[in-house]
Amino acid sequence: MNLSEVKYLKFKMPEQEQQARQVAYKVPIVTLLKNEFIQQEGWNPNYININENHVSRINLIATVIDKQTSESLITLTLDDSTSTIQARAFNEDIRKATDINVGDPVLLIGRPRKYNEQLFVTIEVVKKMDPIWTKIRKLELQKNFNLDSSGEKTVIQETPTETQSGAEAGIERVSSSSLNESGDKILNLIKDLDDGDGADLNQVITKSGLTEQQVQPVIEELIKLGEIYEPKPSKIKILG
């Protein structure tokens, strides 16, 4: 899969209305940089226009190749083998990246921004990852974005036609409904069973009282939502 949709964001607007979390996408850095950034007004999120998808939230797995720190700003330079981009945390949010160092492979969820014609990503969540996940993501992006081994795009993906599904056009969608009761139950189990390295997937399934066939789609959905991640095979951990 190359674009993963994230469903809901827990924050309140001035009218105290619960808002749906903007779509989050797995996308190569080179694709972010080569497409148009759209600045919007008011509460409408800024986005990058990719195949007519409004990419306002991004899921990156990349390696930190530089880190700059001041009292009110941390800047990480990320390399996913297709290109590099800066990720920034401001003011109280710098705590999110204080334990991240040069050389760390990280999972980062954030939002695109532009200043002085430079595109960067504001850090929403950033976590260290096992290096194997950078290789897995690289292979995933090569397949789904038609990249060669150097990260260069070999075929331009066209906007979906009436006969072309979103998945065929490099887009995978998840419905925008909120997490159901099973999702909340699984999240609570992961939190309770986490031994520091994450919760064992088999234990989560056993303790849930559900079948593996019932739990697996929930786990996959929570990963796409950016609620959990896999720090290592068969281990799952709450993200954030």
Q: Is 122:75 a contact under the CB 8 Å cutoff?
A: no
Annotated domain spans of the chain: 8-144, 181-238
- pTM metric for this prediction: 0.67
Of residues 181 and 66, the one with the higher pLDDT is 66
What are the residues facing 20 on neighbouring strands? 8
Beta bridge partners of 111: 122
Residue in the structure block whose two tokens are 């896999």 = 230
CA pair distance 22, 172, nearest whole angstrom = 14
Complete DSSP assignment for 142-176: HHHTTB-TTS-B-SPPPPP-TTS-TTTTT------
Percentage of residues of the chain with pLDDT beyond 90 = 38
Mean residue pLDDT across the chain: 78
Q: Is the pLDDT of residue 4 over 80?
A: no
* Residue 100 pLDDT exceeds 60: yes
| pLDDT value of position 238 | 85
Q: Per residue in 108-164, pLDDT tens?
A: 999 999 999 999 999 999 999 888 888 888 888 888 888 765 555 433 333 333 333
Query: Residue 84 in 3-state DSSP?
Result: strand
CATH classification of 181-238 is 1.10.10, yes or no?
A: yes
Counted residue by residue, the chain has a size of 240
Return the CATH class of domain 8-144.
mainly beta
* Mean pLDDT on 85-104: 95
Alpha-carbon span 63 to 45, nearest angstrom = 27
> In this structure, is the dihedral angle defined by the CA atoms of residues 1, 46, 107 and 119, taken in order, positive or negative?
positive
Q: Is the pLDDT of residue 40 over 90?
A: no
* The token pair that represents 169 in the structure block: 């056009």
